[in-house]
Amino acid sequence: MIIKPRTIPRTLLQYQALEHRIPADHPKMPLIQENIRKGLAGYKGECALDYPLSFLPEKKYSILHDVRLQVDGHFFQIDSILLSEMFILLIDAKYMAGKLYFDVRFNQLIQTVDGEEKAYSDPLLQKRYHEEQFNKWLIKNKLPAAPILSLVVVSNSYTIIQTASENRDLHQNVIHHEYLPFKIKEFEEKLTKPFLTEKERRKLGQQLIKQHTTPDYPILEKLQISQSELLKGVYCPNCGRLPMKRDYGKWTCPYCQHINKDAHVLSLKDYELLIGPTITNREMQDFLRCPSESICKKLLRNMELQSMGENKGRVYVLPQNEIVFL
């Protein structure tokens, strides 16, 4: 069963928030859009694992998605981890179109799409690194030595996987996602000796969840964009433009006439993703171009946020979880 579900990567949400908070002709816009494209492809690749993984018997496996662990001061992130009592399988999902050539001699991956070649770092090297790091993590946590297996799973059905003829065992390491249940069956046939009890497997799953950390990515600092460059106001959830107007207790879009009562919630999410986890009434008035202190106070109160301090010094804690817009 899935014990840690997948969520949209926070860095992808940050880039998406930034895209509608800077002018279209901003010099960093192409980089932001490229990172969104990459982030979405990565996320799509991870989601494509759900279907083949749904064939596995629920009771035999604990499945964890998006796990980021730390060992010896280094972080490593694994798309999916499968825990069984016989082995641990680490999965790296790749959603890449066209032709993928695994150049094992120079440790690079060459993708060809529409006659254009692009080189990427070698997923096979990363796979080895993940196995080593995971093993170190087990040792650090005083857990029993485990057979650690890993796979690079190409989750785009039409992608062609190639390598040089001397590299005959590539299919042991790289597979299409449709083949995943059969590959797991192969592992089950080879590895029959348990290294954990069922109880220990559950405990290991909980330990992984506990030690998982979300990356802290100060996006404005990383891209050298200052807060003053951000576009202010509540953006329209219908057409994406800024700013909406506050009238009669509702937000109205002057461009598409969309009316929304809760549009400020999404814009406060932008604040949390781009600027920080807390906001004062004054900061909200400025960021959302909110007409008055009393309106902001009312909106914040209705969101039932945790707060600290009193009066003008009161700071409200913005939730980090994904806000589902109604």
Query: What residue ranges bind Zn ion (CB under 5 A)?
Result: 236, 238-239, 253, 255-256, 258
Question: Minimal distance in Å, beta carbon 23 to Zn ion?
Answer: 17
For residues 71 and 234, which CB has a smaller minimum distance to Zn ion in the complex?
A: 234
* 67-75 LR contacts (CB < 8 Å, sep 24+): 67/4, 67/208, 67/212, 68/212, 68/213, 68/214, 68/215, 69/133, 69/134, 69/137, 69/208, 69/211, 69/212, 69/213, 70/211, 70/213, 71/133, 71/136, 71/137, 71/140, 72/136, 74/133, 75/213, 75/215
Tell me the two tokens of residue 70. Answer: 């730390």
CB nearer Zn ion, residue 184 or residue 290: 290
Strands 278-280 and 88-94: unpaired
Output the smallest distance, CB 236 to Zn ion, in A: 3
Q: Residue 241 Cβ, how far from Zn ion at the closest point, in Å?
A: 5
| Closer of 212 and 258 to Zn ion (Cβ) | 258
Of 146 and 234, nearer to Zn ion (C-beta) is 234
Q: Report helix angle 10-19 to 263-274, nearest 10.
A: 110
Half-sphere exposure of 261 (CA within 13 A, CB side): 5
Question: Which residue number, 217 or 325, has a Cβ lying nearer to Zn ion?
Answer: 325
Distance in Å, CB of 242 to Zn ion, minimum? 9
Minimum gap (Å) between residue 240 Cβ and Zn ion: 7
Q: Which is nearer to Zn ion, 144 or 240 (CB)?
A: 240
**Residue placing its CB nearer to Zn ion in the complex, 184 or 253:** 253
Q: What does the alpha-carbon distance between residue 320 and residue 222 come to, in Å, rounded to a whole number? A: 20
Distance CA 89, CA 185 (A): 12
* Chain centroid offset of residue 281 CA: 30
C-alpha triplet 99, 12, 109: angle, nearest 5°: 25
Shortest spacing between CB 269 and Zn ion, in angstroms: 17
Least separation in angstroms between CB 26 and Zn ion: 21
What is each CA distance from 141 to 69, 145, 161, in whole angstroms? 12, 11, 37
Under 8 Å between Cβ of 100 and 158: no
